[in-house]
A and B are shown apart, each in its own frame.
Chain A
Amino acid sequence: RGLLTRLNTPICIVCYLAAIVWFMGLAFEPFTLRTDMSENAMGSTMVLLRGASAVPRQGVRSSQKTGAVSTWLVKAMQSRGLEVFTQSFSRKLPFPDENKERYMVRGTNVYGILRAPRAPRTEALVISAPCSPGDSNNQAVGLLLALAQYFRNQVYWAKDIIFLVNEHDLMGTQAWLEAYHHTNITGMEYSPLQGRGGSIQAALSLELSSDVITSLDLILDGLNGQLPNLDLANLFYAFCQKLGVLCTIQGKLQRNDWDTAEGYTHAAQTMMLMVLKQACGRSWGDHGLFLRYHIEAASVRGINSFRHYKTDAATIGRLLEGMVRKLNNLLERLHQSYFFYLLPSLSRFVSIGCYMPAFGLLVVILLLRALDLWVHLGAPALAAVEGVTEAQQPSGPAVLTVLTPVVISHLTGVALYLLPVHLQEMAVEHFPVSETEAVVLTAVAIYTTGLALPHNTQRLLSGEGTEQGWKVLKLTALLYLAVLLGCTALINFSLGFVLAVTLVPITASMTPHMPKALSALVMVLLSPAFTILYCVFIYQELIEAPVSVSEGWMLFLSVISQGILDHALYGSLVYPLLALFIYPCWLMFWNILFWS
Chain B
Amino acid sequence: MAAPLTLLLIVAVTIRAVLFRSSWAELISERVEVVSPLNAWKRVVEGLALLDLGVSPYSGDVFHETPFMIYLFHFVVDYAEIVFMIADGITAVALYLSIQTYNKNVFRKQKYALESDRYPADCLELLRSPKEMFYIPLKVAMFYLLNPFTILSCVAKSTCGLNNAIIALFILCTLKGSALLSGILLALATYQSIYPLTLFAPALLFFLQRLYIPVNLRRSSFWFFTLQYAFIYVGSLVVITGLSFFLLGSWDFIPSVYGFIFSVPDLTPNIGLFWYFFAEMFEHFRLFFICVFQINVFFYTIPLSIKLKEHPVFLIFMQIAIISIFKSYPTVGDVALYMAFLPAWSHLYRFLRNIFLVSCVLLACSALFPVLWHLWIYAGSANSNFYYAITLLFNFGQILLVSDYFYAYLRREHHLTHGLYLKKKDGTEATLVLK
Interface residues of chain A, those whose CB is within 8 Å of chain B, are: 226-227, 291-292, 294, 333, 335, 339-340, 367, 370-371, 374, 382, 385-386, 388-389, 392, 479, 482-484, 486-487, 490-491
Point out the residues of chain B lying under 8 angstroms from A291, CB to CB: 379
Q: Mark B334-373, 1 if CB is under 8 A from A, else 0.
A: 0000000000000000100000100010011001100110
Establish whether residues A486 and B368, one from each chain, have CB atoms under 8 Å apart when the complex forms. yes
Q: Mark B168-203, 1 if CB is under 8 A from A, else 0.
A: 000000000000000000000000000000000000
Establish whether residues A483 and B364, one from each chain, have CB atoms under 8 Å apart when the complex forms. yes
Point out the residues of chain A lying under 8 angstroms from B375, CB to CB: 490-491
Q: Mark B117-134, 1 if CB is under 8 A from A, else 0.
A: 000000001000101100
Point out the residues of chain A lying under 8 angstroms from B382, CB to CB: 339, 490
Establish whether residues A479 and B368, one from each chain, have CB atoms under 8 Å apart when the complex forms. no
B46 to chain A, nearest CB (A): 23
Contact partner of B363 (CB less than 8 A), chosen from A333, A389, A483, A491, is A483
B386 to chain A, nearest CB (A): 9
Indicate whether A486 sits within 8 Å of B364 (C-beta atoms), given known contacts A294-B378, A371-B356.
Answer: yes
A367 CA to B356 CA in the complex, in Å? 10
Establish whether residues A382 and B350, one from each chain, have CB atoms under 8 Å apart when the complex forms. yes
24 example contacts (A-B, Cβ-Cβ < 8 A) are as follows A226-B379, A291-B379, A292-B378, A294-B378, A333-B380, A335-B380, A339-B381, A382-B350, A385-B125, A385-B350, A386-B125, A389-B129, A389-B131, A389-B132, A392-B132, A482-B364, A483-B367, A484-B367, A486-B364, A486-B368, A487-B368, A490-B368, A490-B375, A491-B374
A492 to chain B, nearest CB (A): 10
B122 to chain A, nearest CB (A): 11
Point out the residues of chain B lying under 8 angstroms from A371, CB to CB: 356
Establish whether residues B368 and A226, one from each chain, have CB atoms under 8 Å apart when the complex forms. no
Which 7 pairs, one residue from A and one from B, show the smallest C-beta to C-beta distance?
Answer: A339-B381, A294-B380, A487-B371, A483-B367, A374-B356, A490-B371, A483-B364
Point out the residues of chain A lying under 8 angstroms from B132, CB to CB: 389, 392
Interface residues of chain B, those whose CB is within 8 Å of chain A, are: 125, 129, 131-132, 350, 356, 360, 363-364, 367-368, 371-372, 374-375, 378-382
- Closest A-chain residue to B359, C-beta based? A479
B425 to chain A, nearest CB (A): 27
- Closest A-chain residue to B370, C-beta based? A487
Establish whether residues A227 and B381, one from each chain, have CB atoms under 8 Å apart when the complex forms. yes
Indicate whether A367 sits within 8 Å of B360 (C-beta atoms), given known contacts A339-B380, A385-B125, A392-B132.
Answer: yes
- Closest B-chain residue to A363, C-beta based? B364
A177 to chain B, nearest CB (A): 14
- Closest B-chain residue to A222, C-beta based? B379
B360 to chain A, nearest CB (A): 7
Establish whether residues B381 and A226, one from each chain, have CB atoms under 8 Å apart when the complex forms. yes
Point out the residues of chain A lying under 8 angstroms from B374, CB to CB: 491
Establish whether residues B381 and A340, one from each chain, have CB atoms under 8 Å apart when the complex forms. yes
- Closest B-chain residue to A484, C-beta based? B367
Establish whether residues B367 and A487, one from each chain, have CB atoms under 8 Å apart when the complex forms. yes
Point out the residues of chain A lying under 8 angstroms from B372, CB to CB: 490
Taking A389-B129, A490-B375 as known contacts, 12 extra A-B pairs with beta carbons closer than 8 A to each other, sorted by chain A number, are: A339-B380, A339-B381, A374-B356, A386-B125, A389-B131, A483-B367, A484-B367, A487-B367, A487-B371, A490-B372, A490-B382, A491-B379
Point out the residues of chain B lying under 8 angstroms from A340, CB to CB: 381
